[in-house]
A and B are shown apart, each in its own frame.
Chain A
């Protein structure tokens, strides 16, 4: 039962938190609504929607749980790896960070041939540098020592 109500309760909590934060802002400004008006109004609408979700979930048992197996492990792994990659870009620059990241990514996605892993890592890193950096002039992160 509590599991079914988890999502509506999270929606209500977000609405409550936003309303609480917005309550510190002035509701009226010069000649009209102030900076706090719209956030508070939207929090109210979100709370109303949260209550509707709660009503839908409780008596009829409408689905609020994940549709499939959650796959939290893969999700956590991807988000964690991306976070590490962002940090590595900041400290090591584009090429040094991208080569191992792509290689590891290929391996984690099921690519087991060393040629595929190394070839994709080198090929993609060079191609992306050429297309993004050289052809289209997109700034790529540089190593702090450069």
Chain B
């Protein structure tokens, strides 16, 4: 059964529309990743409208192209001008820019591209090996366990997303509250619709995503617009390809980075920025020349770059198998699935195996394409660093409005996008993380259904969550996550 499905999926992933979509995604990812101030999440929400007319596999090929290439592109500006294009490229700047100043910019970029693809392929192998097994276990989970799992996922994300767990939780609960707008999922009664027929289907999640991610960046971009200075590159770009001997010498760093990136990417609420610094530190520890780190060590570029692309496959593990997006990027990918009528989670592996294998092939394709396009086009793509924000910001604003409109051809979605843009701006301003709100918006419907289903099946008995060992264990973990900041504060006070 699996054999034909795998080849059918390969055929779809390598069909013309998927290849074109992946290529467009890779180019956009490299361009946006290279531009400081623009995030991969922003690029992904802006290309979301392009997926509406594509098949589900081609849509994922586009998005995964942006994701994988965006992670790689982030290193361009980190190496050349010491400004990380994305937060996940921050550790690359330490040794990468030093190499550029020493006249090895091309070599640093080449190592960064090759390490990125190494990490991406490593994480894909982990995804392919682990995801079907996790999905098989997840299929055994009942409603109480699923509710407990979703609660733990949301709490972890709220805890990691900002500096304060309480603020993260406020944002998450606000997201959950907003998912209660529209028809009740179990009895169909309208809630908080104020008699408006348009609100009966609820607030669409994609305009909310676009608004929360993009509008605050447009506002910030406008503030910074006039202050833009065209950067001067550190050195010429020659000698991109490292020697085979040098690559073999970097293998250990790339392996450490890939493993850490994949593992950390799979934990909800973490992601690239954490993975890269841990990988940098781990690579220094296992290096034969730790003293070279910080002074232009190639291993200091290889490890974080392998780690940030290792995150790509890792992040897909909880998203595909459990339906839990661990970070904003997997929340956007989950949105693509929903737009294409697919429900993420363990059932996806049973009901749409051709799609799941299509995603695996698409991720491999995205990594291979990133390698080729990045190495061939690096000299041209770095020129985007010279593009002034005055050109970019209005373009982003237009794409936000058109993207929201394109979902259902209604200006209500554009207005929703704008409303969430204001909310996102206010959350940023008052130090509330946006990510938990997005995850709340994504998980809200499922969380409510599993909670009510558990209580209905148990005759309204709330101890149902404590009688199931897995659910009880997951809720206990949630309590530990909630209690951790209190314990830390008490210890600090005692000292």
Query: What residues of chain A have their CB less than 8 Å away from a CB belonging to chain B?
Result: 7, 11, 14, 18, 21-22, 25-26, 29-39, 42-43, 45-46, 49-50, 52-53, 56, 63-67, 70-71, 74-75, 77-79, 81-83, 85-86, 89-90, 94, 98, 101-102, 104-106, 108-111, 116, 120, 124, 128, 131-132, 136-141
Chain A residues in 8 Å Cβ range of B429: 66-67, 70
Interface window among B45-53, B71-79, B245-253? B45-53
Q: Kindly report which residue of chain A lies nearest to residue B228, judged by CB atoms.
A: A110
Any A CB within 8 A of the CB of B177:
yes
Out of A29, A63, A77, A108, name the residue touching B187 (CB < 8 Å): A29
Query: What residues of chain B have their CB less than 8 Å away from a CB belonging to chain A?
Result: 49-50, 52-54, 164, 166-167, 169-170, 173-174, 176-177, 180, 184, 186-187, 189, 191-192, 215, 218-219, 221-223, 225-226, 228, 388-391, 393-395, 397-402, 405-406, 409, 411, 414-415, 418, 421-422, 425, 429-431, 448, 451-453, 455-457, 459-460
Chain A interface main SS type:
helix
Alpha-carbon distance between A70 and B215 when the two chains are bound, in angstroms = 15
Nearest Cβ in chain B — how far from A106, in angstroms? 5
Alpha-carbon distance between A101 and B388 when the two chains are bound, in angstroms = 18
Alpha-carbon distance between A71 and B218 when the two chains are bound, in angstroms = 13
Q: Kindly report which residue of chain A lies nearest to residue B453, judged by CB atoms.
A: A32
- Is A42's CB under 8 angstroms from B173's CB? yes
- Is A29's CB under 8 angstroms from B169's CB? no
- Is B174's CB under 8 angstroms from A46's CB? yes
Out of B176, B221, B225, B228, name the residue touching A42 (CB < 8 Å): B176
- Is A39's CB under 8 angstroms from B173's CB? no
Nearest Cβ in chain A — how far from B144, in angstroms? 13
Given known contacts A46-B174, A136-B50, A138-B50, A102 and B187 CB-to-CB distance under 8 angstroms = no
Alpha-carbon distance between A102 and B176 when the two chains are bound, in angstroms = 35
- Is B418's CB under 8 angstroms from A132's CB? no
18 A-B residue pairs with Cβ-Cβ distance under 8 Å, sorted by A, are A25-B189, A31-B456, A33-B456, A39-B192, A50-B170, A53-B167, A56-B164, A64-B430, A78-B222, A78-B397, A83-B418, A89-B414, A90-B411, A98-B398, A102-B398, A109-B388, A128-B399, A138-B49
Given known contacts A32-B452, A78-B222, A79-B215, A105 and B394 CB-to-CB distance under 8 angstroms = yes
Given known contacts A29-B186, A66-B429, A74-B219, A53 and B170 CB-to-CB distance under 8 angstroms = yes
Alpha-carbon distance between A111 and B390 when the two chains are bound, in angstroms = 6
- Is A128's CB under 8 angstroms from B398's CB? yes
Chain A residues in 8 Å Cβ range of B52: 136-138
- Is A116's CB under 8 angstroms from B456's CB? no
Chain A residues in 8 Å Cβ range of B187: 29-30, 34-35
Nearest Cβ in chain B — how far from A41, in angstroms? 8
Q: Kindly report which residue of chain B lies nearest to residue A26, judged by CB atoms.
A: B189
Chain A residues in 8 Å Cβ range of B391: 106, 111, 116, 120, 124
Alpha-carbon distance between A104 and B400 when the two chains are bound, in angstroms = 17
Given contacts A74-B223, A89-B405, A132-B406, list 7 more A-B pairs with CB under 8 A.
A32-B453, A39-B192, A64-B431, A89-B401, A89-B411, A140-B402, A140-B406
Chain A residues in 8 Å Cβ range of B400: 82
Alpha-carbon distance between A139 and B218 when the two chains are bound, in angstroms = 23
Alpha-carbon distance between A26 and B388 when the two chains are bound, in angstroms = 55
Alpha-carbon distance between A103 and B246 when the two chains are bound, in angstroms = 50
Chain B residues in 8 Å Cβ range of A18: 177
Alpha-carbon distance between A96 and B414 when the two chains are bound, in angstroms = 18
The 5 A-B pairs of least Cβ separation, nearest first, read: A105-B394, A32-B456, A110-B226, A111-B390, A109-B225
Given known contacts A75-B219, A78-B215, A120-B391, A49 and B166 CB-to-CB distance under 8 angstroms = yes
- Is B452's CB under 8 angstroms from A37's CB? yes
Q: Kindly report which residue of chain B lies nearest to residue A50, judged by CB atoms.
A: B170
Nearest Cβ in chain A — how far from B416, in angstroms? 11
- Is A132's CB under 8 angstroms from B402's CB? yes
- Is B425's CB under 8 angstroms from A75's CB? yes
Chain B residues in 8 Å Cβ range of A140: 402, 406
Alpha-carbon distance between A7 and B402 when the two chains are bound, in angstroms = 33
Given known contacts A78-B397, A109-B226, A39 and B180 CB-to-CB distance under 8 angstroms = yes
Q: Kindly report which residue of chain A lies nearest to residue B167, judged by CB atoms.
A: A53
- Is A132's CB under 8 angstroms from B455's CB? no
Chain B residues in 8 Å Cβ range of A82: 215, 218, 397, 400-401, 418, 421
- Is B460's CB under 8 angstroms from A106's CB? no
Chain B residues in 8 Å Cβ range of A35: 184, 186-187, 189, 191
- Is B415's CB under 8 angstroms from A86's CB? yes
Chain B residues in 8 Å Cβ range of A132: 49-50, 402, 406
Q: Kindly report which residue of chain A lies nearest to residue B166, judged by CB atoms.
A: A52
Given known contacts A25-B189, A102-B394, A49 and B170 CB-to-CB distance under 8 angstroms = yes
Given known contacts A35-B191, A109-B225, A139-B409, A79 and B422 CB-to-CB distance under 8 angstroms = yes
Out of A33, A128, A138, name the residue touching B455 (CB < 8 Å): A33
Alpha-carbon distance between A72 and B191 when the two chains are bound, in angstroms = 33
- Is B405's CB under 8 angstroms from A109's CB? no
Given known contacts A86-B414, A110-B225, A7 and B430 CB-to-CB distance under 8 angstroms = yes
- Is B460's CB under 8 angstroms from A33's CB? yes
Given known contacts A53-B170, A138-B402, A109 and B414 CB-to-CB distance under 8 angstroms = no
Chain A residues in 8 Å Cβ range of B192: 21, 39
Q: Kindly report which residue of chain A lies nearest to residue B389, judged by CB atoms.
A: A109
Chain A residues in 8 Å Cβ range of B459: 31
Q: Kindly report which residue of chain B lies nearest to residue A110, judged by CB atoms.
A: B226
Chain A residues in 8 Å Cβ range of B219: 71, 74-75, 78
Chain B residues in 8 Å Cβ range of A141: 402, 405, 411
- Is B395's CB under 8 angstroms from A86's CB? no
**Residue among B222, B398, B399, B459 with the highest chain A CB neighbour number at 10 A:** B398
Alpha-carbon distance between A106 and B185 when the two chains are bound, in angstroms = 45
Chain B residues in 8 Å Cβ range of A83: 418
Chain A residues in 8 Å Cβ range of B173: 42, 45-46, 49
